[in-house]
Chain A
Amino acid sequence: MGIKNAMSNLLLFFFFVIYLFQPVLHDIRQAKSQLIENVISYGLAKASSGDVGQFSPEIIKEMEDKLEQVGIHPSDVLFKGTTSLTLRGDYIKGELRVKNSPLWMMWQGPQEIVRSGTMMSEYIER
């Protein structure tokens, strides 16, 4: 009787831990995803502006700094995009891949959060 009670309480405790923390893990991932989307949008808007025309090292560094402010280390961030000068009317692309924190308590979820964007450059050679 004592062992049966202990076993059922242990199982209950196990499930309660999952019920408590699983929504929190979801919320963390959702917040991270939105932040990364905002950061790549910001970088893309800057990169396509009339006097830049590319993802310059300064813009990439700014994006990494913004992510670092919320605890995402630059070593967990991989940027791929247009780093060569792009004339007005041609497309600039940017993609951020960030290592993901655990999504599920019971098994491994997606390893990365990937957000990207494409927009035309406004750069004119003077």
Chain B
Amino acid sequence: MKETFRVLMLGFMFIIMTFLQIERDINSTTQQRLKASITRAAHDASLQVVDSLVGEGYIVFDREKARAAFEQTLQSNLQLKSDLTPKPHTLLHDQMYIIAEEYIDDYSGVTFPYNYRNDEMRMYKTIYGPAVIFKIRVHMPRVSRFGYDGDVTKDVIYEYPFL
């Protein structure tokens, strides 16, 4: 009887620890995947410049194309639909939101290097050329009550890749 009780208690603890470990795995995979995806998406957004102005020596971002490229790359890398909700049976469980979008380019009236500050979004960086700035927020996926129940945010400040 004593042995049975001991095995059952250990089994119960093992199940809880396994769930904790699974949640930790999901958490770290999500963090890593989000960071990689937002970096790639910002890279693709930074390539969307007004061609006619490039010829005159100005790097000016085409805002609409940049936003579209950012969303498209996010969708490809995170298996999202066009409205940024996740496809079934993928890593994320909730809709993603783009909570910050900014463009610093040759038409922004700044000189480089430029100390970018956004106290509301808590983003700070010295940028040496035109850059796109994005921040996303999504609810952390979880499979049990042991997982983190909250949002995760990732931000990126990506400079235009000069040749």
Contact = CB atoms under 8 A, between A and B. Distances in A.
B is a partner of A: yes
Interface of A: 8-9, 11-12, 15-16, 18-19, 22-23, 26-27, 30, 33-34, 37, 41, 44, 48, 50, 88-89, 91, 93, 116-120, 122, 124
A119 B73 contact: yes
Contacts of A116: 77
Contact of A11 (B7, B32, B163): B7
A15 B40 contact: no
B97 interface: no
B25 interface: yes
Interface of B: 3-4, 6-7, 10-11, 14, 17-18, 21-22, 25, 28-29, 32-33, 36, 40, 43-44, 47, 69, 73, 76-77, 161, 163
A16 B13 CA distance: 12
Contact of A122 (B29, B47, B77): B47
A5 to B, nearest CB: 8
B47 A89 contact: yes
19 contacts: A8-B3, A11-B7, A12-B3, A19-B14, A22-B14, A26-B21, A26-B22, A30-B25, A41-B36, A44-B40, A50-B161, A88-B47, A116-B77, A117-B36, A118-B73, A119-B43, A120-B43, A122-B161, A122-B163
Given A15-B11, A120-B44, A22 B18 contact: yes
Nearest to B6: A12
Q: Which of B28, B33, B36, B163 has most A Cβ within 10 Å?
A: B36
